[in-house]
Amino acid sequence: MSWSLWWARSERDREQQFEIRSSLIKEVRKLAEQKKVVSIDPATIEMIEKAAAEGVSTVFERAANMRPCPIGEEGSCCAHCAMGPCRVPLPRNKEETLEEHHKRKGLCGATAETIAARGFLRKIAAGTASHGDHGREVTKIFIEAAKGEIEGFEIKDEQKLLQLALELGVEIGDRTNEEIAIDVGELLQQDFGRQEGELTFIKRAPLKRQELWRKLDVVPRGIDREVAEAMHRTHMGCDQDYKSLLAHGARTSLADGWGGAMIATELQDILFGTPAPAASQVNLGVLKADEVNVVIHGHEPYVAEMLAVAAQDPEMIAYAASKGAKGINLTGMCCTANEILMRHGIPIAGNFLQQELAIVTGAVEAMVVDVQCIMQGLAEVANCYHTKLITTDARTKIEGAIHMQFDAHKAVESGKEILRAAIDNYSNRGENVRIPDVKTDLIAGFSHETINYLLGGLFRASYRPLNDNIINGRIRGVAGVVGCNNARVGHDDVHVTLVKELIKNDVLVIETGCAAMACAKFGLLVPEAAEFAGEGLRSVCEAVGIPPVLHMGACIDNSRILIAATSMVKDGGLGDDISDLPAVGVAAEWMSEKAIAIGQYFVSSGVYTIFGATWPTLGSKEVTDYLFKEMEGIYGGKWDFEPDPLKIAEMVINHIDEKRKALGIDKARERVLYDMEMRRELGKV
Ligand code: NFS
Ligand code: SF4
């Protein structure tokens, strides 16, 4: 059953369609609420049971006890002024016709279309603001570090700095790295507050894409400007044309993917090092019974970077020993985890839905958080154990937590102070400790540069071999499987089922965020996982020595996927725009507004993007049709929604096959044995 049957088509078959719609709602609910498994991860299940036995409330328990509001879920509620909240839900019973539904308006006259589109734009704005604020903070620290105003941070990737300087037209000459970095940082900093013109990295997109954006007038002017304008447009009584609202949604999202997120990734790489393949482990079993366990959770990497440095300091290790601990065990949670995993091989304790459960082990001395995806529930859980919940950023304070403001100007000292607080807490660890004996090996750190190098080799680094393997059919296509966990669906279940199905069908999977951790837990991020892949993909993985599922970083690093896709276009043979590539984006367990911003910048960049779990505009057929169908005619990419992972896999594969056909490489799959000859033929063209 598909989303398109959600609405009644005409008055005549209204009753029948109503049945279909109701049963789809039931199907989604069934998948979500009566999910056979709350989680497929044994460590998670063990800790949910421990929490329940100890009377500790977690997100899993709250999800079982509170249903989502059905009106809000479909995007049919508006609270943008004090005459509301107004509700314009789809018909809930057979007596009400769709026509009557169309007559339902907010007090100001706002239609279901306007209300759904305004809500959607606000989500994009919130996501873009989050990545933008992350990027702004990185840029500030980058400039201050280059000016020598803060200790502990230095330029780690000189080559990337010089490349970026060349790209931006910053003079290199015989200037120092620091002088160059100041100019690079200050130039990119202007993108946040720019009022007119175009964002710097827009020029990185394929030429055809840039022209399309200019023609559509969706090129972002400034990151903050687009977010502010989104808030203005969605204020009561402002933009009330859903197409106009969604066009600004496209522009705002591009200010994320090709703006805030891309700036953050580039400057983090220069400052902390561009990720290269690193071996590590994932899941709650990385916590240690006889060491001081510190879990660093959130998104911006500087606190984590400093803790990584401080944890190796002999003075700190000695201090831990003086308290009876065998060492300091630093582990990560959510995207901060991805950042320090990729750059230092620091193990991951878990993904989004495991944050409370890490504390439930009773073995965590401190959970140190920065910004984003940090559940308020942590404070209450921490209260039930000895764990200190430490907030470090003025933008994320939590009642009941200890606030230790991280001061970048005294970064090393700040890091040590936080660590000392954790070590001091070691002696308070109670008897009630249980660390699940579950952890899995993984390889992470496949940055765009690494893929370039691994597939192309040192002397001819390029995407040519990837393109060739797609053209000859060994690799059917590429799927970016990204995003969160969502307590309304089986934890990790949707990601893992989907990804296994994709690699079995020769789809190379690139992952970021909590999705990457889900698949890592099930052993898909090691080269040996090639055995789960189809014959073609397996042969490529074995030849190059890579896993069939590549960990590309944190969610902010979805911008790396844009760069990788652009490189594939530029290398030739797969069309002249991102929308020509046999590639799809999926966020099957999404929950965060950042995911919507990311999804929209994928779509606006020409990518077919499928979300699972739930969809926030189903209350309006027009808006949803626009996103799911019409957008393709405008941007070359479109949205789709499907909660069932096997059906998502089918949709991904069908789309890839359609793109292959359009490129004229669909026959290549059958002719895989003749690929040398085919290559020669291709060479003649
Ligand atoms: Ni992305 Fe990463 Fe995870 Fe979702 Fe949250 S941690 S930024 S938003 S939940 S993937
Ligand atoms: Fe209701 Fe309109 Fe106010 Fe929204 S803006 S709450 S629809 S009156």
Half-sphere exposure of 680 (CA within 13 A, CB side): 3
Are residues 101 and 157 located together in one domain of the fold? no
Which of 64, 80, 113 is the last residue in one of the domains? 113
Q: Which atom of ligand 2 is nearest to the CA of 88?
A: 7
Alpha-carbon gap, residue 177 to 158, rounded angstroms: 7
Alpha-carbon gap, residue 612 to 31, rounded angstroms: 11
Give pLDDT, residue 92.
72
- Ligand 2 centroid – CA 615 distance (Å): 21
Which of 98, 113, 128 is the last residue in one of the domains? 113
CA angle centred on 208, ends 202 and 209, rounded to 5°: 45
Residue 677 resides in a domain: no
Residue 573 resides in a domain: yes
SS3 of residue 620 by DSSP? coil
Mutate to test the pocket of ligand 2, among 108, 121, 238 (most ligand atoms within 8 A of CB): 108
Amino acid found at 371: V
Give pLDDT, residue 451.
80
Mutate to test the pocket of ligand 2, among 77, 87, 104, 107 (most ligand atoms within 8 A of CB): 107
Are residues 482 and 392 located together in one domain of the fold? no
Residue 279 resides in a domain: no
- Ligand 2 centroid – CA 86 distance (Å): 6
Domain count, the chain: 4
Q: Is 83 in the pocket of ligand 2 (CB under 6 A)?
A: yes
- Ligand 2 centroid – CA 362 distance (Å): 47
Are residues 37 and 108 located together in one domain of the fold? yes
SS3 of residue 535 by DSSP? helix
Q: Are 514 and 474 in contact (CB under 8 A)?
A: no
Which CATH number belongs to the domain containing residue 393 in this structure? 3.40.50.2030
Are residues 105 and 126 located together in one domain of the fold? no
Q: Is 238 in the pocket of ligand 2 (CB under 6 A)?
A: no
Q: For tokens 């100001």, what's the residue?
A: 108
Q: Is 106 in the pocket of ligand 2 (CB under 6 A)?
A: yes
Are residues 126 and 154 located together in one domain of the fold? yes
Are residues 19 and 41 located together in one domain of the fold? yes
Residue 235 resides in a domain: yes
Give pLDDT, residue 670.
52
Which residues in the chain come in under a pLDDT of 70? 1-36, 94, 98, 456-461, 668-685
pTM of this prediction? 0.92
Give pLDDT, residue 120.
98
Q: Is 236 in the pocket of ligand 2 (CB under 6 A)?
A: yes
- Ligand 2 centroid – CA 115 distance (Å): 8
Ligand nearest to the CA of 85: 2
Are residues 498 and 606 located together in one domain of the fold? yes
Please give the backbone phi and psi of residue 11, each rounded to the nearest 5 degrees, phi first: -60, -35
Mean of per-residue pLDDT scores for the chain: 91
- Ligand 1 centroid – CA 374 distance (Å): 10
- Ligand 2 centroid – CA 439 distance (Å): 50
For the beta carbon of residue 609, count every other beta carbon within 10 angstroms. 25
- Ligand 2 centroid – CA 29 distance (Å): 29
Q: Is 216 in the pocket of ligand 2 (CB under 6 A)?
A: no
Q: Is 507 in the pocket of ligand 2 (CB under 6 A)?
A: no
Are residues 561 and 537 located together in one domain of the fold? yes
Are residues 97 and 138 located together in one domain of the fold? no
Query: What is the residue range of 373's domain?
Result: 284-428
Residue 163 resides in a domain: yes
Which of 428, 459, 490 is the last residue in one of the domains? 428
Q: Which atom of ligand 1 is nearest to the CA of 515?
A: 10
Q: Is 81 in the pocket of ligand 2 (CB under 6 A)?
A: yes
Ligand nearest to the CA of 88: 2
Residue 625 resides in a domain: yes
Ligand 1, atom 1, lies closest to the CA of 555
- Ligand 1 centroid – CA 189 distance (Å): 25
Are residues 479 and 409 located together in one domain of the fold? no
Q: Which atom of ligand 2 is nearest to the CA of 114?
A: 7
Mutate to test the pocket of ligand 1, among 133, 372, 593, 596 (most ligand atoms within 8 A of CB): 372
Residue 676 resides in a domain: no
Which CATH number belongs to the domain containing residue 197 in this structure? 1.20.1270.30
Pocket around ligand 1 at a 6 A CB cut-off: 299, 334-335, 352, 373, 483-484, 513-514, 554-555, 592, 594-595
Q: Which atom of ligand 1 is nearest to the CA of 485?
A: 9
With a CB cutoff of 8 Å and minimum separation 6, the contacts of 445 are: 275, 276, 277, 278, 341, 342, 343, 551, 553
Q: In 527-564, which positions are buried (b, 16+ CB within 10 angstroms) versus exposed (e)?
A: eebbebbbebbbbbbeebebbbbbbbbbbbbbbbbbbb
Mutate to test the pocket of ligand 1, among 342, 514, 598 (most ligand atoms within 8 A of CB): 514
Ligand nearest to the CA of 613: 1
Q: What is the DSSP string of 207-266?
A: HHHHHHHHHHT---S-HHHHHHHHHHHTSTTS---HHHHHHHHHHHHHHIIIIIHHHHHH
- Ligand 2 centroid – CA 222 distance (Å): 29
Alpha-carbon gap, residue 590 to 16, rounded angstroms: 31
Amino acid found at 299: H
Query: For residue 548, is the peptide bond before it cis, meaning its omega torsion is within 30 degrees of 0?
Result: no
Q: Are 60 and 38 in contact (CB under 8 A)?
A: yes
- The model's pLDDT over 484-510, given as tens digits with 9 standing for 90+, comes to 999 999 999 999 999 999 999 999 999
Mutate to test the pocket of ligand 2, among 71, 121, 122, 236 (most ligand atoms within 8 A of CB): 236
With a CB cutoff of 8 Å and minimum separation 6, the contacts of 340 are: 296, 301, 304, 305, 308, 330, 332, 346
Mutate to test the pocket of ligand 2, among 83, 115, 122 (most ligand atoms within 8 A of CB): 83
Are residues 647 and 555 located together in one domain of the fold? yes
Ligand nearest to the CA of 234: 2
Are residues 565 and 597 located together in one domain of the fold? yes
Give pLDDT, residue 31.
55
